[in-house]
Amino acid sequence: QVQLVESGGGLVQAGGSLRLSCVASGSTSRYRMAWFRQAPGKEREFVAAINRGSGPTYYDDSVKGRFTISRDNAKNTLILEMNSLKPEDTAVYYCAASQTIILSSMRGPDNYAYWGQGTQVTISS
């Protein structure tokens, strides 16, 4: 079992950048990991995912080219670099992990066993 703690959220203006981190309580090298987000009144949606090791990576079309997911397995840390932020990126961002998820299911939140508590990202226009 692994515990996940996100940090790095905040309030920035449109066009700005943020770097989210998700630190795990144990080794995550054998976990597939992902970032999801949930805006008020909306369902939790997929943002990006990364396979075991250092990749490959997968992105939702809405963030492709602006966000970068990476991981540092030596530090048990998952990173989400977010650039060119837009007001529609405003949400609570969650990291998630699973040892058993298959690649074709990585975009589905129900397929992840472990979740962090979330970090708020607010983008002002």
pLDDT tens by residue, 82-104: 999 999 999 999 999 998 888 88
Q: 45: Cβ–Cβ under 8 A, 6 or more apart, which residues?
A: 36, 37, 38, 60
Strand locations in 32-76 (E):
32-38, 45-50, 57-59, 67-72
Using a 10 angstrom Cβ sphere, with 0-12 exposed, 13-18 middle and 19 or more buried, the burial of residue 86 is middle
**Rounded Cα distance, 65 and 83, in Å:** 9
Looking at residue 10, its pLDDT comes to 97
Looking at residue 28, its pLDDT comes to 86
In this prediction, the residues of the chain whose per-residue pLDDT falls under 50 are: none
**Secondary structure element (H or E) that encloses residue 11, with its range:** strand 10-13
CB 55 within 8 A of CB 68: no
DSSP 8-state code for residue 75 = G
